[in-house]
Structure formats: C-alpha cells, structure tokens
Chain A
Amino acid sequence: MRFDKTEISLAAVAIALVLFGFVSPGWLIFLLTIAFAKALVVQGVVMQMRSGLVSFGQGLFYCIGGYTVGMGGQFFGIHDAIAALSLGMLVAIAVAMVLGLLLTRYRDIFFAMLSLAFSMILFGILVKSPELGSTDGFNVHNWTIFGWAPDGGESSQHTVFTLTILAGLVIAVLIHRYTKAGIGVICEAVRENEVRVEYLGLSPRWLLYGNYVSAAAVSALGGGLTALATGHVDPEMAYWTTSGEFIFIALLGGLGHVAAPFIAAVVFSVVRTYAIELVPHTWQMILGFTLLGVIVFLPKGLWSLVSRKKAGERA
C-alpha cells in the first residue's frame, strides 16, 4: 500500500500526539480525547454535507455507539474495548441500513428533519427505559484491551486517549481515500446535479445510501470512544442539541480537508471551556459569536486559513 503526503502528515501528527500524551496534564488529555472522539462523529456529518445533506440527527449514531459500548459491558459481558467499539459500529450500520432506505428518498430540510426525528425517537425510548437508567443513563463497566486492564483513572484515561488517536488516524486515512474514490466524488456530483448523475446511469439514492451507512459507522465509533473516555452514557447523546453541536463543529472546520473536523473540535472545546469559565451563564453567546464570525469571515471554515496560506506560499 502506498501513502500520499496527507496520509503521512496525518500519521506524523498522530504519533506526535501519542507521545505528547505521556507528558501532558490529565485535564488536557481528557479534553483532547473528547474533542477527537466528537470529531469522528463530525466526520460523519461532513461526509453527508459533501453529498448535499445536513443531518440534524447524527446524535443517533453517536448514542448508538456509546450505548452499545455501555450495554455490552454491563449486560453482555463484552469488556474488550475494541470488540465493544466494533460492535457499536456494526449496530449503527444495521440501523442505518434500515433507516437509510427511507431517508435517502428525502433531500434538504426534509432529510434534516427526518434524521432529527429518528434521533429524538431514540432519545424518547432511552428516557423511558428504567433498566438503562432513564434520563440519568448508566456507567460504563471497567474494560480491557487485548486482555490488559488499565489500573485506575489515570491509566485508563491515557489508554483511551491513545486508542482515540489511533482510531482517528485510521478513520482519517480511510475518509481521505473515500473522498477521492468513486463514491466520494460522485456523492459531490449528486449534490451538484442529481439529474445528471441519474442520466449517467447511476442511482443517486444508492450512492447516498452507501454514504449514509458509512457515515453512521464512523459516528458510532466516536460515540463508543466518548463512552470509554467519560465512563458514562446518557440519553442526552441522542438529544437534538448534541446533533446541533456536531453541525456547529462541521461548519467551524469546513469541508476542505479531512483534518478540519479534528482541528475544529479542539477549537470548539477550548472556546467552550474558556467561555464557561469567563461567563458561566451566557457562554452560549460566545459560541454564537464564534459561529457568526466563521460564517461571515470564513464561510469555508477554519480550514480555509490553512488552504489560503498554502495558496499564498505557492504563489
């Protein structure tokens, strides 16, 4: 297998981050773990945005990934982190394969609202499930990785961090290739002109379906990692404000590069952390202004700062 420049850079950054994990303070490790895990969910949102669809319900797959990890450990004796994460992705794929049949008939606001509806249905079910802790959710069982059990908070936090970075790297490389592959480019073509795609003998619906299911798997992985990192899952994961946050981060980063959601998720976490410290009651306002600023001055997201600089260097 050959790797291109982007892939090598991604790997270099990932290795640097893993090493950084050994010297960085615990709070920062935690912030980065959550940010990168969420970035994976955002990758799912971005994959769909490329095809012209905005999912207001990506929290559905975030929640499915998280709850599968949680329930696997609590009820089914699945304590291996990799097995639980994989299972979460499989469940998400199965659910997406069913929902996708209906959702791919819809476009624009109808798609957005229907995706939202499905995530709110899951939210409703979870809230009404006392066995799953209703609104409080429940804690994730202690887990192992390749038979090894991290001892205590610090060590497990560090393990999830490393796991998240490595998973993030693998997914980033895959998405980078996916974006340039037939499905990725033709999904953009669907966004541009569905009629033409149809008259090339392709099925826009099948393309969007494949893309929807792939995006669900990626988002579920993000949910699973978040569950491992926080040690807790609750129905809030499927609530519409959670999905809104993913769209926020997607817009913040832009669609320009596979790295953008990761950068945007970190920026988002930092801005939110400081905003909450600075103005505990009106921190949302600061986020609001941030988004306003990005939309007005950087309509293609934070990544345009990087691509502009690159273009400048070339010129």
Chain B
Amino acid sequence: MTVILETKSLNKEFGAVIAAKDLDVRISKGEIVGVIGSNGAGKTTFINMVTGYLKPTRGEILFNGKSILGHSPRAITRAGMARSFQVAQLFPEMTVLDNLIVALAAAESPRPSFLSPLRSDKRIARAEDILREFGVENYRDSLVTAVPQGARKLVDIAMALIGNPQMLLLDEPTSGVSMDEKTGLMDTVMNAVRQHGVTVLFVEHDMDVVERYVSRVLAFYSGEIIADGQPSAVLADERVRDLVTGHRPTHKKGNGVS
C-alpha cells in the first residue's frame, strides 16, 4: 500500500515538556486511523506539527513522499492535507452559508477576485448541497455564534473537505457534542469522507466511537506512541488500559478518559 503520510523521529519540546518524542508514524492511503490518549498526551501537537502550525524541534515529515517540514499551513492545505480543530475554527460573525462560500472560493483559487461577487448563484447552490449533505441546512442563515457545538463541528469539517483533500486530520470531532449526537455526527462525517475517498486520522476520547469506525488505532501517552495496531488489540493492551483508557469493565462507560 502507498504511504501517504510518514513522520520520522518527530520531536517537539515546549521548554521542559516533551509533547512529542521520536514519533515514527506511517499511514497508508485509504486508512481510517483513530488516535487515543489522555489529556496532554500530545495528540493535538502531532496534528499541529503535521499541518505546519507548529515547527517540530527535530524530525522529518513526508506527505506523498515529499518533505513538508517547514511548509506553511496554507501550502500544506493546498498540497492536499486538511484538518479540523478541537474547538471549531469558523468565522463567528458570519452566517454558516457564508462560511462555506468563503471555503468554496478559497478552494477555487488562492487569489480572490477584487470585483466579481463572492456569493455567486453557483457557489450558493454548492454550499446548500453541502449544508444538506452534513444535515445542517437549518442553520443556513444563522450566525455561527448562534449555532450549537455539534453543528459547528460539522461545518468545520465540511469546510476542511471542500478543498477535496487526500488526507483529513480531525481533532476530536465529537468533543463538546452530547452522547446521543455523537454517532449521528460521526456517521455523517464518515459518509462524506468515504464519498471523497479520503485518508482519515481522527483523535477521539470515546472508545466506542473509535471501535466503530477505525481500522487502526494509535495510542499516545506522554508524547510517545505506546501502541499501534488493530483496535481490538490496542484496546486490550495492558499499558493502554493502564495509561489511556482506564480499566473499563466493559463498553458504555461515559466519556472514556477525557
């Protein structure tokens, strides 16, 4: 299988805190990978480094075999790697529709037009399709500030997908979303992702959600990857149970470790 993302001894230190320690990760095209780990384990730091938001202290990052180390987030986005955020990153004082339209225009060209209207009929129609695909059409004209968390997360992910990325990194897509909404949200996202044939890596605290969608799990602890493999194997691993998931008697126990 072709490797799409590879990191080689990736390190990140914040003063004395080691947020990433010799991370060697290889992800193949088409994989759906779950990332688990307790608070402060270094999951977001990993995504931030890979997408150019944080500069690694040491190491190498290859995307489609080419180094993207030191590239800007926008260059990495244009190269085909998109992300969502732990806290949805939207344009709060704009309507949901406008958020999507801005993303559509950005995907069309890195140089926005100076005089032709952004809200063209074509873009509005496309944005409405996307709103429907993600089941948030009711919020079309609401300002983002007036939209509930779950819908914001969906808009955030929709915006990431608009550029037709080859790979999508989702940082806790279901955080801040109520228990009973989680599966619906993830189903929506995963349907969209499958249609686009995207490789996905997503961070998730809820082990039920992880088991339901992924073919592989990376377990982070204190900046290191302590287990990597099939979900059943990783979740049964003793260190993972000690350090990440806690000793869950069976399934269905709240939020996992948050």
Contact = CB atoms under 8 A, between A and B. Distances in A.
Majority secondary structure, B binding face: loop
Interface in B70-99: 72-74, 77-78, 82-83, 89-94, 98
B159 interface: yes
Given A185-B98, A185-B102, A200 B163 contact: yes
A181 B78 CA distance: 22
Contact of B105 (A182, A206, A210): A182
Contacts of B103: 200
Interface stretch (B116-124, B186-194, B209-217): B116-124
State which size class the interface on A falls in.
20 to 34
Nearest to B113: A182
A171 interface: no
Contacts, number: 93
B110 A202 contact: yes
B103 to A, nearest CB: 5
Nearest to B117: A180
A236 interface: no
Contacts of A200: 74, 77, 102-103, 106-107, 159, 163
B113 A181 contact: yes
B116 A181 contact: yes
B105 A186 contact: yes
State which size class the interface on B falls in.
35 or more
A278 interface: no
Interface stretch (A86-94, A128-136, A188-196): A188-196
B114 A203 contact: no
B172 to A, nearest CB: 16
Contact of B92 (A183, A192, A198, A203): A192
Interface of B: 51, 53, 72-74, 77-78, 82-83, 89-94, 98, 101-103, 105-107, 110-119, 159-160, 163
15 contacts: A177-B117, A181-B117, A182-B105, A182-B112, A182-B113, A186-B102, A186-B105, A188-B94, A193-B89, A200-B74, A201-B110, A201-B163, A202-B110, A203-B74, A206-B111
Interface of A: 174, 177-178, 180-186, 188-189, 192-193, 195-203, 206-207, 210, 214
